[in-house]
Structure 1
């Protein structure tokens, strides 16, 4: 592959994203059978539709004759394989045009055939063999079948021709791929062989002489001299202006870009500076174009020099675009645009290497054009181009070294090698390997293979750099819109945009590495036709239609929900739970309708998916029954509303406030601020306690114990006063105090009060307990504590061990009993902890 083709691949890729007119899916005429089609209502008035112009373009007999002649030529060329690549491409284009017409013609008479099918269906199935059909119906059926066969013939002929054209295109593509592979694997002359050097030098000098002679001969013409002198001022002005733009234009643009960015280097300034910096490419290229125009205006260029002068445009664009990319990847100043962790002097090297690679690629294109214009031999072309390839490989290795240095710096700064840096490290090694392999292959004689390795690698590297620059542009735009520069690098939108850019660049990478535009167009055509599921064909266009309609419907549903929640429902008398249920129900219905309309708009026939839906229903019945149960329970909760958001409930031993009710589960926030996710089925099938359903009034019971001997009537009066004095306690029904009975250690009372808001029960309980303790202390009422007696069966075990232990007489059992019955042996403890009092015996 020539380097010129590689550069043109960038431009050709732009046309790939315009999809060709693909074969439209139409009903198969062969599916119209005697058992499946509709019929007229009466025999006297058969309902066979009259012939109308078809939507699909009809193909005449003359067109089929031209098609047969083209097929003969194509088959002969494929068999002989003597035609050039250009001739094969021309044949392929003609066959592809016919194939496109055949694809459209397959839908010819589709509406009429559909009408006939419905009429045959209305007639019903054919009678059994022993049964006979009425003569009138048999006549109608036969007329419809004859008409169906007549109208189906053009579509079937087009279908056969389409299949034949598709096979021819595949054969031509196979021949071209085989030729391309053979050329890459062809062993040619080695550029290192000194025998070939004189011939290459002679070709270069001959080209220079031929161009100089052509210009000299043109100047010798008196007519041309008069024409050149008349246009000399314009030629001089254009040449001077072009030279200024080439030599100083980039410098002026760069200074303007840096002045816009300034010291702040905010996203807005960076974007403005980025837009201005594009002039570093277009201003010098414009200068080159002016010089070419001046050369054409002089009239001194001829058949050889004109294409050579025109090759200055690719040379200029390759050099200045590579220099601009190098400036973006290895910026002069630290800041928002820096991509690689390199020191300032290393970034200078990076800019130089990038610009040099662009210059080498441009010079290679220029030499290819000179060789083509002046008819160099293949050996001379290889010898002249080999030094450029070697130089490009060396600079590729230098760039790989800078990438490896960036990875080491990042690893030292972060302490580990991230995924991105692992990819960069792999890219650096790949660059070194490809540069070495391409150079060695070219040196031993596989020059075309070396060209197909080295130059596509350089262009792929430049395309990767362009993708990184575009990613930074999107990130800057996102941070400018959201005003969140800190988190823009990790945001989802720039990441998705980078992924989309990577997908869109795949055809360009394919073109760079040798894929033909026709191959990509063929792949895109097959991709655009979609896949068939039953009788339904799902294509990218159908998917985009579905996604667009569903997105619009989803956004409209969310807007309606927001309007209901913020503007409409608050003005009604519906409680909060009912409002939330209406909003949630509106969301479910809206999403369902959006999906239904999107499927219909995309032309997807849901009836053909009945078998798939049946299989899914079986799977749901066995594997997804819990999910379906929770979903149905969620719908029931939204309709019946036994619980609502903000309710204080208890379910499964967990208490808390309902924070969210979704389709599958409900989120409860407990009193210790943890979230508990409860499946909705538990609310429908289990026991749920709702403390605040419909109201916030609730009862609180506070147990109180007093010592024996206290006046119970007085205690009743005090407790009643305390309860009625609290502002959260309702006066009606009044607070009650109940003497519950005689406990083991106390006289037990209970205060039972109804609170205005049961959510404050804990605070009310605490305040009432404080007030009870204060009043009891003022009134001298004792609050008892638990008492326990400890009986020691063998007190002698408490005596110290030693000599005294052996001399001591054995204790008298009566004395032991008397000692145990002493008051000091009783230990009184306070509270439920059974802690012994300090003065008790142990």
Structure 2
């Protein structure tokens, strides 16, 4: 039941959780280590031990006692670091003296000095040992107190009380309501009958009427005005700043009516007619109003009236209207529950009367929460039907909706049986958890719109990774608030936070958030400095040198690797992490790395060799294996080659070191092109060679020293084979030069009447007289008799032999 009184405290803790560690760290930094008052501590410890042995103190008293013990424990923790520098100095001095010699008498001066240092070290360690003993005692007492409180909470949840189906409970509840209303009426009547209070009422009547009228206006129209204004701002243009402005205006739906509640409370108090019972109800109005207006605002944001391009939930307008109604109803029920609990605690009524008051509200909250769970399931179904697939988010939402329905049903059943505390601990926190999750969704959308405003691209910002990461941060930040909602004690969360700050031991080294943060900050600074140096080298320093592109890239890459390595070493040292204790673990891991990651290590070493020796550089045209292309990037693991088809081939660096690589442009861009040419038999070979020589020398990309050459390769099957062999200024233009020469060869041969031959074949006929009709036809009757078996034609049959000969007439 106390969960809902602490809801505002939960939100305040969530908002202040990010800044409080800074103030704590500043306070610790400024604190001067002083010796604790052990005499006073002894009294507190004895009183705590008596309270723990008796186990009769109230929960409030135990919580106060635990807070005192936690304060003492913090003092002892600080005292353990006293004289730390002095102890390290003394230990260094003793180490400088060396070990006590075995079997050999030691110098009297050294022995006396060793004795003095040992006694001083022992005396300096006394406060630390005393603080360690007191710390252990305080920590043990805190665990005992926590155990008693947890045991009581468990017993309270499992306590079987009266069932609300018993009519006697309702009779007692209605009687208590009547007594409370009668008491309030008596207080107002008595105040009105008092001349003094009547005079005060008349004196403050203008103020009371003004506050009352203001409250009526703000409560009746304020929320509506803010909602209409927010919708008008957001509906004009779908841009980020309008969404943010509309969001800020929508907060007025909570602030403006809440101001009306405060005005109403002040009007009632200023009248002077409110007594003690009435003041309890009036004082509970602001938190109850906050619960109602916040729930209603969340309902309007999650289930908007107007159509939005990116709604939170995929529901029909009718289902959204149900969601708004149920959200407002939940806020009203929880607000009434806060007022009822305040009255019951003031009247000191029994648990049976509290059950009669609260159980109807519990059932109402359970029904509305159940309906909201159904809406979540419907959203998952609608979204899956539209997208024709079930996304991970939809599965989570559907699971959440079904879990909500099951939990509230179980809670109502437990309440009917008689486990009212367990029922309240299930139903009310479930409703508040839904509100918290909705609030997280709204905050994530708010961050997305702010990010969109900064980057200037709203559609791209929603698909960006940063808003998603911010959502995960919100979920982690909401975990403590969620734990408080479900009944966790603030002291328990504080204990967990202290353990988290203490860190964990890893191989003798303690890794804490402070150590990790120090490491991250130093490494990020070093990494940033490395990138700045790389940029300066790439754009300012290296272009002014005579190094080629490959050498510049090698220097820039090497600087990056060296800078990252030094940044990691400096960050580890600056964070105070002792890696010597991890040497054994690192040695064991190195064996596994040697076997499991040997290919990666081999490629990494090969990449370093490539960057140092530079057998290939970026922009080189190479051939490795069956692939050829230009080197576009050399990394520590692989090299990227862009082929002539504009495809990227990733080649492991080990293949470039251990395999055969042909670099076509290493050191020089000059290279040879070979253009084969075939001409028909019977042409003048000398004339052909002269024409080809002229064509080669005329091309602007051909180097004339050494001059190009024309080679008469020999007699081919169908042609006389020639080759143009020329050295080009830039071998990258080989295909273009080859194409240009072929065009020019075709033009010149056409002008000179030189024939470029086709493949030649000779046909020999065995009986040409049959084809000419001069010979005697074979017997058709005999052929027809065997036509079906041999598929022979019914007319004249000629035997033809195909024989291939080359241009010289030789049969092939």
Whether these two folds match at TM > 0.5 is yes
Counterpart residue number, 1:694? 667
Question: What's the CA shift for 1:59?
Answer: 2.4
Whole-Å separation in 2 of the counterparts to 1:577 and 1:828: 56
Counterpart residue number, 2:605? 632
Matched, 1:530 2:507: no
Matches within 5 A, 1:100-499: 100-128=74-102, 130-336=103-309, 338-499=311-472
Whole-Å separation in 2 of the counterparts to 1:362 and 1:298: 24
Whole-Å separation in 2 of the counterparts to 1:664 and 1:675: 15
Q: Compute the RMSD of aligned alpha carbons.
A: 3.0
| Aligned length in residues | 786
569-578 vs 147-156, which deviates more?
A: 569-578
Question: What's the CA shift for 1:275?
Answer: 1.1
Q: 2:212–2:267: 8 Å Cα contact kept in structure 1?
A: yes
595-604 vs 658-667, which deviates more?
A: 595-604
Q: 1:214–1:301: 8 Å Cα contact kept in structure 2?
A: yes
Q: 1:23 to 1:72 in 2, by over 3 A?
A: farther
Q: 1:550 to 1:307 in 2, by over 3 A?
A: farther
Tell me: higher relative CO, structure 1 or 2? Use CA pairs within 8 A at least 6 residues apart: 1
Matched, 1:803 2:779: no
Equivalent position SS for 2:701: coil
Whole-Å separation in 1 of the counterparts to 2:186 and 2:781: 134
Q: 2:164–2:356: 8 Å Cα contact kept in structure 1?
A: yes
Counterpart selection for 2:33 from 17, 35, 57: 57
Matched, 1:613 2:590: no
Alignment TM-score, normalising by the size of structure 2: 0.91
Q: 2:3–2:486: 8 Å Cα contact kept in structure 1?
A: no
Question: What's the CA shift for 1:100?
Answer: 0.1
Question: What's the CA shift for 1:758?
Answer: 1.0
Q: 1:806 to 1:397 in 2, by over 3 A?
A: closer
Deviation string 1:602-635 (CA, Å, 9 cap, x unpaired) is 2222333333333333333333232222222212
Whole-Å separation in 1 of the counterparts to 2:101 and 2:314: 84
Counterpart residue number, 1:37? none
Whole-Å separation in 2 of the counterparts to 1:415 and 1:455: 36
Whole-Å separation in 1 of the counterparts to 2:111 and 2:258: 78
Counterpart residue number, 1:7? 7
Q: 2:503–2:511: 8 Å Cα contact kept in structure 1?
A: yes
Deviation string 1:726-777 (CA, Å, 9 cap, x unpaired) is 1221233221112334445443322111112211111211221222233223
Unpaired runs of 5+ residues, structure 1, are: 27-53, 809-818, 831-840
Counterpart residue number, 2:476? 503
Q: 1:807 to 1:105 in 2, by over 3 A?
A: closer
Q: 2:3–2:484: 8 Å Cα contact kept in structure 1?
A: no
Whole-Å separation in 2 of the counterparts to 1:176 and 1:801: 120
Deviation string 1:568-614 (CA, Å, 9 cap, x unpaired) is 43344432222222222222222223222322332222333333333
Unpaired runs of 5+ residues, structure 2, are: 769-777, 788-797
Question: What's the CA shift for 1:55?
Answer: 7.9
Matched, 1:92 2:92: no
Whole-Å separation in 1 of the counterparts to 2:599 and 2:374: 58
Q: 2:530–2:564: 8 Å Cα contact kept in structure 1?
A: yes
Deviation string 1:304-344 (CA, Å, 9 cap, x unpaired) is 33332111111100100000000011001111452112222
Q: 1:55 to 1:443 in 2, by over 3 A?
A: closer
Question: What's the CA shift for 1:688?
Answer: 1.6
Question: What's the CA shift for 1:242?
Answer: 2.5
Q: 2:5–2:338: 8 Å Cα contact kept in structure 1?
A: no
Q: 1:458 to 1:546 in 2, by over 3 A?
A: same
Matched, 1:827 2:796: no
Question: What's the CA shift for 1:538?
Answer: 0.8
Whole-Å separation in 1 of the counterparts to 2:554 and 2:368: 67
